[in-house]
């Protein structure tokens, strides 16, 4: 009956036709192969900036190879491997490798393996779908740009007339700050999300999240201003560990999207904002010691090909030095213009302005980036 | 797992028993034409709702929260298929957590799988634009294919809701007889359109034009899904300088800038048509949709 199953679609034909022409017969003959997609991401940046993932000059962003498909009628599986090049070394990082249930009763949904945590609005999105060249400063400081880890998640989609999803995640925790834990479960998260439409052209979503971090706190801040981010505790040259930790992280996020008649093909306005608060930084922390940050962004796609956006954010941090803290602050503004000749390619120009204290590399930078996708059609996630 | 997590689990479990019972078959259609067909065939035993409106491009929908809620409670999904909804339907199905509408379940029904598709590409390469490997998905513009889809949907409704199979059979017979009569009427009315040449904005009218024997001599989009460019439009004008097509057809949710540019340069009238049910004031069901489109095509001088 079904030849093209959405979870194991036919887009592999395209990739096979171009890259693996010898396989054409086999891939076409077997539509149940997983979807394969490849993201190509490259960047040129004029200056080093504080808390950035990218150094100045030419560089590669997240080159991502993904495969996904239905395992059977009960599970689907997904793999995303990210290739990154840092200081001449190429690393392969497994960003997501998970299995997920399909259609459990009562709106339940279970995922296990390694995956992006669903806290906040941006964190569960893959970075190649971002509307700016880098995540907001608050994400880079507190989540290492994006937090993924080994663990398990259970969500329930409640049978309410509006969208209401609640979820709990339990993670190993070692990929958050690189800290040690005596517990098997180093990180718990709780998340609740609501959403809906109004007046036909508007969609909204609100979320609140709590992350409980049971790992040992970061004891001594590393030098963040050498143009790279934190060093891995497992001996790798590079990691995404968050540089600032605390026992409790609270996040509130809000998104509003508008499109003429709800038709996002012609144009779309996206407003998004998130607020982060982290306390119980370590045993020396008083009630006045906490990390806090927020960002707000507006992006307007004014015709099918062009979009422009502004983002502003601020993050106030406590840099750990043994038994005391140094205050740090980073205020970042971004202006971007993006051109997307089709919805598989984007070229983006961005201006970044940084102000603050406690960082060496507070700079203005211009970044030029391309993000292109080959293979399976990407998902239009909200 | 330690005991601290128990209150959380209990809280979740307490929510499991509150799903409301649906009185009949709830159908979530991806496009309004399929909601209209499901409603026509299902009568008062079916409650059909469309995930998109006639003013939304079904390629470019996001799996947004309101759609996830609708997919969660649906008994059936009625979509076009042929990769039209590939950007959001797989994600929507995953997020719906609804076992009944997953691929290969009886509640998963794709119109494009019930009929042969035209314009199947020989090879699929994105340098050709956003082409669909399975062929042109906009099948609701062929009244004969639509009737074939109606037969298959009736069969599926009878599987989902066997208690009412007689009811669905009677509804189908009434629909099929009215639809066949309407086809005869439309074909008589549209005889004068045979052989007419037109430009189209996008290849979404191909089934209609094939049926009416109207010839599409050029697409405003240089490649499917790629917005019209000035250079491409100029090329079109040059090619047809001496034999300008009679009109440019666009769906009224599409950007009309390219079509208006051609009208201003070469006087080619723009016909902005409802693409599906709900796309104009009079297009309230499939019959009135076809009526409206034929009336507008025949009104071009």
B10 inside domain: no
In the predicted model, is pLDDT for residue B199 greater than 90?
Answer: yes
* Between B281 and B242, the higher pLDDT residue: B281
Interface contact B1-A170, CB threshold 8 A: yes
Whether residue B3 lies inside any domain: the answer is no
pLDDT in tens, A231-272: 433 333 345 677 788 999 999 999 999 999 888 888 999 999
B142 and B279 within one domain: no
Q: Do A158 and B104 touch (CB under 8 A)?
A: no
Domain boundary among B170, B185, B200: B185
Q: Which residues of A touch B56 (CB under 8 A)?
A: 261-265
Q: Which residues 189-248 on chain A approach chain B with CB closer than 8 angstroms?
A: 190, 193-197, 200, 203-205
One domain for residues B148 and B219: no
* Domain-located, residue B1: no
Q: How far apart are CA B95 and CA A108, in angstroms?
A: 10
- The residues in B 254-283 lying below 8 A from A, measured between CB atoms, are 255
| DSSP assignment of A284-314 | T--TT--EEEEEEEEEEE-SSSEEEEEEEEE
pLDDT-based confidence at residue B7 (cuts at 50, 70, 90):
low
Q: Do B165 and B82 share a structural domain?
A: yes
**What's the confidence (pLDDT) of residue A32?**
57
pLDDT at B143 over 70: yes
How many pairs of residues across A and B have Cβ atoms under 8 Å apart?
A: 198
Q: What is the CATH number of the domain that holds B229?
A: 3.40.50.1980
Nearest to B290 by CA among B215, B195, B178, B200: B178
Question: B255: distance to nearest CA of chain A, Å?
Answer: 7
pLDDT in the model for residue A258 = 96
Which pLDDT value is given to residue B4?
Answer: 54
Average pLDDT over residues B82-100: 93
Would B198 be classed as within a structural domain? yes
Q: Which residues of A touch B94 (CB under 8 A)?
A: 7, 76, 100, 102
| B135/chain A closest Cα distance in angstroms | 12
Chain A neighbors of B16, CB-CB under 8 A: 106-108, 156
Q: How many CB atoms lie within 10 A of CB A180?
A: 11
Pick B46 or A103 by higher pLDDT.
B46
Residue A354 to residues A52, A292, A351, A361, B163, Cα–Cα distance (Å): 11, 17, 10, 9, 67
pLDDT in the model for residue A232: 39
Residue B93: list chain A partners with CB under 8 A: 6-7
CB-nearest partner of B87 from A3, A188, A379: A379
Torsion over CA: B95, B96, B99, B103 (sign): negative
For position B121, what pLDDT does the model report?
Answer: 82
Question: Cα(B275)–Cα(A214) distance, rounded to whole angstroms?
Answer: 56
Task: Let me know: does B268 contact B244? Beta carbons within 8 Å.
Answer: yes
Residues A294-332: tens digit of each pLDDT: 999 999 999 889 999 999 999 999 998 888 899 999 999
Q: Would you call A108 an interface residue with chain B, using a CB distance cutoff of 8 Å?
A: yes
Q: Which of B185, B213, B239 is the last residue of a domain?
A: B185
* CA of B43 vs chain A CAs: smallest distance (Å): 24
Q: Are residues B195 and B269 in the same domain?
A: yes
pLDDT score, position B223: 85
Which residue range(s) make up the domain with B278? 190-298
Low-confidence stretches of chain A (pLDDT < 50) are 1-30, 223-238
B22 touches A at CB < 8 Å: no
Q: What is the pLDDT of residue A357?
A: 94
Q: Where are the domains of chain A?
A: 1-33, 35-375
Q: Are residues B133 and B79 in the same domain?
A: yes
CA triplet B252, B57, A13: central angle to 5 degrees? 135
Residues B82 and B162 in one domain: yes
Rounded CA-CA distance A180/A186 in Å is 8
> In this complex, is the C-beta atom of B166 within 8 Å of any C-beta atom belonging to chain A?
no
In this structure, are B170 and B238 located in the same domain? Answer: no
- The two tokens of residue A16 are 């096979």
Q: What is the pLDDT of residue A21?
A: 33
Instruction: Determine, yes or no, domain membership for B129.
Output: yes
Q: Is the residue at B5 inside a domain?
A: no
Residue after which a domain boundary falls, among B185, B202, B226: B185
**Closest listed residue to residue B121, CA positions, set B232, B199, B235, B223:** B223
Mean pLDDT of B267-275: 94
Touching B: A residues 149-168, CB under 8 Å: 154-163, 165-166, 168
Band of pLDDT at residue B157, cut at 50, 70 and 90: very high
Query: Region B157-167: what's the mean pLDDT?
Result: 96
Q: Work out how many domains chain B is built from and give that number.
A: 2
- pLDDT (0 to 100) of residue A222: 57
State whether B59 and B118 are in the same domain.
yes
A122/chain B closest Cα distance in angstroms? 15
Q: Which of B125-129, B216-220, B222-226 has the lowest mean pLDDT?
A: B125-129
User: Is residue B193 predicted with pLDDT exceeding 70?
Assistant: yes
ipTM, 2 decimals? 0.85
Which positions in chain A touch B96 (Cβ < 8 Å)?
A: 157
**Residue B239 φ then ψ, to 5°:** -60, -40
Is the residue at B154 inside a domain?
yes
Is A382 at the interface with chain B, CB within 8 A? yes
Closest-CA residue of chain B to A207? B65
pLDDT confidence bin for B138, thresholds 50/70/90: very high
Q: Tell whether B155 and B249 lie within a shared domain.
A: no
The label of the residue with tokens 């997920």 reads A100
Which residues of chain B neighbour A158 with C-beta distances below 8 Å? 15, 18
User: Which residue does chain A place closest to B228, by CA atoms?
Assistant: A304
Kindly report the CATH number that applies to the domain delimited by A35-375.
Answer: 2.40.160.10
With cut-offs at 50, 70 and 90, classify the pLDDT of residue B12: low
Length of chain B: 301
B146 and B240 together in one domain = no
Nearest to A263 among B5, B16, B253 (CB): B253
Residues B52 and B170 in one domain: yes
Interface check for B66 against chain A (CB to CB < 8 A): the answer is: yes
Answer yes or no: is pLDDT of B93 > 80: yes
The answer to whether the Cβ–Cβ distance between B66 and A107 falls below 8 Å is no
Q: Do A193 and B1 touch (CB under 8 A)?
A: no
B279 and B198 belong to one structural domain: yes
CB count within 10 Å of CB B194 equals 11
B14 part of a folded domain: no
A107 in contact with chain B, both atoms CB, cutoff 8 A:
yes
Residue A90 to chain B, least CA–CA distance (Å): 29
Q: Which of residues 27-56 of A touch B (CB under 8 A)?
A: none
- Helix (H) and strand (E) counts in chain B: 10, 8
Task: Tell me whether residues B93 and A6 touch, CB distance under 8 A.
Answer: yes
Q: Which pairs from B255-258 meet CB under 8 Å and 24+ separation?
A: B255/A266, B255/A303, B255/A304, B255/B227, B255/B228, B256/B201, B257/B228, B258/B201, B258/B220, B258/B227, B258/B228, B258/B233
When pLDDT is cut at 50, 70 and 90, the band that residue B242 belongs to is: confident
């Amino acid at each position: 009956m079904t030849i093209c199953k959405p979870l194991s679609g036919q887009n592999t034909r395209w990739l096979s036709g171009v890259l693996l022409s010898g396989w054409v017969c086999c891939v076409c003959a077997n539509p149940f192969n997983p979807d394969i997609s490849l993201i190509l991401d490259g960047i040129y940046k004029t200056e080093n900036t504080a808390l950035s993932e990218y150094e100045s000059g030419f560089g590669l962003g997240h080159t991502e190879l993904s495969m996904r498909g239905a395992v059977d009628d009960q599970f689907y599986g997904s793999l995303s491997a990210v290739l990154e090049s840092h200081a001449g070394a190429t690393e392969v990082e497994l960003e997501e490798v998970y299995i997920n249930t399909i259609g459990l009763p009562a709106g339940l949904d279970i995922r296990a393996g390694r995956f992006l945590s669903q806290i906040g609005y941006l964190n569960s999105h893959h970075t190649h779908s971002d509307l700016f060249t880098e995540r907001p400063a608050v994400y880079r400081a507190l989540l290492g740009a994006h937090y993924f880890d080994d663990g398990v998640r259970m969500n329930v989609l409640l049978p309410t007339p509006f969208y209401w999803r609640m979820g709990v995640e339990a993670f190993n925790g070692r990929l958050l700050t690189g800290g040690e834990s005596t517990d098997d479960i180093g990180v718990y998260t709780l998340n609740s999300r609501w959403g809906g439409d109004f007046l036909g052209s508007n969609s909204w979503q609100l979320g609140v999240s709590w992350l409980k971090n049971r790992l040992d706190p970061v004891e001594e801040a590393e030098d963040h201003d050498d143009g790279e981010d934190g060093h891995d505790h497992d001996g790798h040259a590079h990691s995404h560990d968050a540089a600032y930790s605390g026992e409790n992280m609270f996040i509130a996020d809000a998104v509003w999207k508008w499109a003429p008649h709800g038709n996002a093909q012609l144009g779309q306005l996206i407003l998004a904002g998130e607020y982060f608060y982290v306390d119980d930084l370590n045993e020396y922390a008083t009630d006045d010691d906490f990390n806090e940050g927020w960002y707000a962004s507006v992006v307007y796609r004014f015709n099918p090909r062009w979009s422009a956006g502004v983002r502003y954010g601020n993050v106030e941090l406590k840099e750990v030095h043994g038994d005391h803290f140094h205050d740090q602050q980073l205020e970042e503004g971004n202006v971007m213009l993006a051109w997307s000749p089709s919805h598989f390619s984007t070229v983006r120009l961005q201006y970044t302005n940084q102000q603050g204290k406690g960082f060496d590399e507070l700079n203005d930078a211009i970044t030029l980036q391309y993000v292109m996708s080959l293979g399976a059609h990407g998902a239009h996630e909200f | 797992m330690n005991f601290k997590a128990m209150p959380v689990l209990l809280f979740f479990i307490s929510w499991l028993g509150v799903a409301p019972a649906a009185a009949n078959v709830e159908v979530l259609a991806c496009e309004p034409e399929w909601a209209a067909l499901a409603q026509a065939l299902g009568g008062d035993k079916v409650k059909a709702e469309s995930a998109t409106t006639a003013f939304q491009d079904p390629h470019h929908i996001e799996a947004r929260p309101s759609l996830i809620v609708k997919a969660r409670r649906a008994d059936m999904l009625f979509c076009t298929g042929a990769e039209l909804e590939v950007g959001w339907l797989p994600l929507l199905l995953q997020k719906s957590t609804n076992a009944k509408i997953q691929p290969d379940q009886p509640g998963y029904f794709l119109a494009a799988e019930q009929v042969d598709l035209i314009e199947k590409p020989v090879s699929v390469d994105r340098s050709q634009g956003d082409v669909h490997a399975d062929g042109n998905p906009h099948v609701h513009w062929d009244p004969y294919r639509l009737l074939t889809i109606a037969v298959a949907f009736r069969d599926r409704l009878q599987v989902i809701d066997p208690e009412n199979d007689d009811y669905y059979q009677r509804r189908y017979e009434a629909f099929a007889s009215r639809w066949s009569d309407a086809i005869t009427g439309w074909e008589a009315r549209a005889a004068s359109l045979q052989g007419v040449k037109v430009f189209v904005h996008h290849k979404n009218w191909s089934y209609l034009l094939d049926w009416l024997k109207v010839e599409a001599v050029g697409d405003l989009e240089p490649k499917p899904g790629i917005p019209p460019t000035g250079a491409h439009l100029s090329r079109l004008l040059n090619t047809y300088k001496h034999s300008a097509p009679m009109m440019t057809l666009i769906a009224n949710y599409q950007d009309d800038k390219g079509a208006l540019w051609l009208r201003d340069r070469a006087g080619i009238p723009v016909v902005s048509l409802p693409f599906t049910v709900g796309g104009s004031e009079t297009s309230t069901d499939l019959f009135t949709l076809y009526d409206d489109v034929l009336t507008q095509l025949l009104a071009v001088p």
